Amino acid sequence: MRLDTIKWLILDEADRLLDLGFEDKVAKIIKAIDEHKTERQTVLLSATLTAGVERLAGMSLKNPDRVAVDTQSSNKPSTKSLGSKSQESLANKTQSVDSKSTEKPMELNENFALPENLKQYFIVSPCKLRLVVLLTLILSKCKKNNKMKMIVFASTQDGVEFLYRLVRFLTTENSADSDVEEEDAKTSLDLFRLHGDMSQKDRSSTYQDFCTTKSGVLLCTDVAARGLHLPYVDWVVQYSCPAGVTDYIHRVGRTARAGNAGNAITFMLPSEIDFVKHLNQKSISITEMKVGEILQDVIKLVPFLPGMEDSKREIPRTVEEAATYLQNCCELHIKSHKEMTSLAKTAYQSFIRAYATYPHELKSIFHLRHLHLGHVAKTFGLRAAPTDMSNIPGVNRTTMSNKRKHDKGSGDGAERVKKKKRTDMSEFQGPLIYKKKATKGTKLKHKKHFKKNKQ
């Protein structure tokens, strides 16, 4: 590559480049360009001004002008010349601070302001209901005739692929007879995916298509959280909690842009509820939305789900029955397609790995010991958690032992026995379903078993 013809050098999302550990590589690139001593215009863009960003400015900028955009006081950016003294200061900081040192972002010491026309919600859902709640939210709001656009953030690429295939199955006409890999099938929902494992060509095509569509859903990782202008997005759904306040701000910032109204909802497990307090400490107000508010629409979706064309099948008449049918529909499809089974297992394992990487200051909220692995498996349409977890950091013998204490007999035979002892409703015992009281016969059996063990 010729470096002597470079006229512009753009360092976009500078703070993010540093967070990802690219400081040394960026420094080498700048040094290589400087060796050719060509005149160029350099632009450095950053949402936050950390010590690392200042170091990068000292390396790349000469006689810089600082342009600050204050969204609260004015729509016009203010320009200020930094002058030689400021540049000297930046250069001195560059020399005095070790280039490999790390610093916490400014979010820890400042409050954040979000658009007034952005409505922020959180929903506390147990693992066994998460998939059904998400699918109900997507299918009820983003049908083609609704003219509504939604972005769904998942924690991993495998998670995005899993949701993409599953939602395509649920929205493809005659999906019971369609191939899971078929991309040309006609669907009742415009569906897109975006993650870092896609080619640049596919990412660009997806971006353009989602920008121009009037309704649809974009399933993505944090690759879409920054640097992309996605117009007229009505809903941002965080299916997994972000890794901090800055990531939260960037995700929800995909909606309520340019004066338009927008909504953002964050899924949380009961063990993650303290993340709300973490947001409140940064002056971010967020309102709870109950699971029942979303699931009340699941009954309307059932007639359009795969399998309901069978006239012999009894139509679910309650929210609980409809939610159970939707979950069972997903599980049956995943179990009967080897590729979907493999994808679900991979997505499950990737989720566990990602969960183990939350920053230290949030470990008390997001910790593997809070997860019931069998219940997490339900989130991916698996009827039992995959047993091969040895290659996942943080999932040790103790974790698996605790899981087995909760789920005794995880084999296929034990699973069949369990199903005989419970109704279909018991899959969703939680905020909507109540367990039946034990009968006298059951209590008596327990007493006999206790006496036998005692002897």
- Show the tokens assigned to 101: 């040192």
User: How confident is the model over 7-31, as pLDDT tens digits?
Assistant: 999 998 888 787 777 888 999 999 9
Query: What are the chain's domains?
Result: 8-103 (no CATH), 115-317 (3.40.50.300)
pTM: 0.69
Q: How far lies 348's CA from each of 115, 176, 272, 370, 425, in Å?
A: 35, 24, 19, 16, 24
Q: Which of 185-199, 313-327, 341-355, 395-409 holds the top average pLDDT?
A: 341-355
Q: What is the mean pLDDT of residues 153-168?
A: 97
What is the band of 141 on the pLDDT scale with cuts at 50, 70, 90?
very high
Task: Give the pLDDT confidence score for residue 425 in this predicted structure.
Answer: 40
- Asked whether residue 412 carries a pLDDT value surpassing 60, the answer given is no
| Percentage of the chain exceeding pLDDT 70 | 70
**pLDDT at residue number 422:** 41
Q: Which residue type is seen at 409?
A: G
Confidence of residue 51 (pLDDT cuts 50, 70, 90): confident
Task: Over range 265-275, report the average pLDDT.
Answer: 98
**Better-predicted residue by pLDDT, 396 or 337:** 337
Under 8 Å between Cβ of 217 and 152: yes
pLDDT tens-digit map of 227-256: 888 999 999 999 999 999 999 999 999 999
Spatial distance between the Cα atoms of 94 and 85, rounded to a whole number of angstroms:
14
444, 450, 453, 455: CA torsion to nearest 10: -90
Q: Which pair of structure tokens corresponds to residue 405?
A: 């204490």
**Average pLDDT, integer, range 365-388:** 92
Cβ neighbours of 55 (radius 10 Å): 24
Q: Please state, rounded to an integer, the average pLDDT across all residues of the chain.
A: 79
Residue 217 pLDDT > 90, yes or no? yes
